[in-house]
Amino acid sequence: MNEEPIYFDFASTTPVNEEVYKAMSPYFLNYYGNASSSTHKQGEIASKAIEEARNQVSRLVNCKENEVFFTSGSTESIKLAMSQVFYNSLDTGTHIITSTAEHKAVLDTCKDLEKIGAQVTYLDVDENGKIDVDLLENSIGSDTILVALMHVNNETGVIADIRDIGAICKKKNVLFFTDATQSYGKLPLNFQEENIDLLCFNAHKIYGPKGIGGLLVNTTAKTKSGVIVKGLIESVNLGTQNVPGIVGLGKSSELAKSELHVNYDKIQKLNRYLTQELYQLELGTVNGFSASRSPYILNIQLANQDAESFILKHKNTVSVSMGSACNSRLMQQSHVLKSMGLSKEIADRSIRISFGATTTQAQLDTLIYTIKNGNN
């Protein structure tokens, strides 16, 4: 039997941790109650499990338990948060600020809102994928209602200065929403101290189940019209809650907190090793090299190979991508790399390597060998 290809696409999704799977299992088989059924024991058990998950999430990112709302994932959270803020701010403004390097879910939501009257400013990024925070501040006007900028870019790993961005938004009395899908459970996050009003995340990026995520909501945040943000999204809890998924999200969050620094240090060493080897062997260069980057993601310009051809030719050896999973079926030029000013020729030679808990140096050596002999 052929061995499975080595997986280097953890930014796309991760396997479910065995402890997470074990925590979820009883809620499929034994504790199957509806959390909204408060008249019997089964419903009470389910409800308590959800509250425990809220507690596990809150401990990871330093938020209040009543600021945690569960959704099907980041895409739902993004559409819900941005749309509700827009609809509840129509009497005070319609201006939203984002960047050209955001995730497709944010850009698509902005395009949809533009069709019904939103005015959207798309900030450019520099060659390292960073926005100019002074330009951001100058772009905020009296009709600005929301700034939506991701924490860690899902294609390049470039880290945004969310503390500075949050401080600007607070000073300007504008809500700040950040997509933390690639940083939740991987990098230190402090919801209360970083002036974030809305934050989305996913379980399946941190060894939890697919189809469950969350939206953090600052309970003290208000739109310019005075509407409390928490009240804008109470609709997220309508309907039957996915108790096993929520339990899995809670458990994966708990494990992420306990392993955060150990995993970070390990991944950082592996990232540095791969980067050094690529440069020394002249096999490729890193996009966004000069920026502060998450060690979990590395976007590489292959020296002399087309990315799509490399991926397809070696798919039985290594599993890598050209960027976001949302775009991978299309095999189209990355809008993120394009926004950084990279040519189509360079973008077409770029692959994304993302590291996980099971990644080893021996696996990276196989990847290096494969890149080195990619044209053979």
| Residues identified as active-site | 326
Tell me phi and psi for residue 367, to 5 degrees.
-60, -45
Residue 265's H or E segment, with its range, is helix 243-280
Quick one: which of 283, 244, 272, 270 has its CA closest to 357? 270
Quick one: which of 264, 257, 289, 170 has its CA closest to 218? 170
Torsion of CA 66, 68, 69, 75, to 10 degrees: 160
Tell me phi and psi for residue 55, to 5 degrees.
-65, -40
How far is Cα of residue 113 from the mean position of the Cα atoms in its chain? 21
**Residue 366 CA neighbour count, 13 Å, CB half:** 15
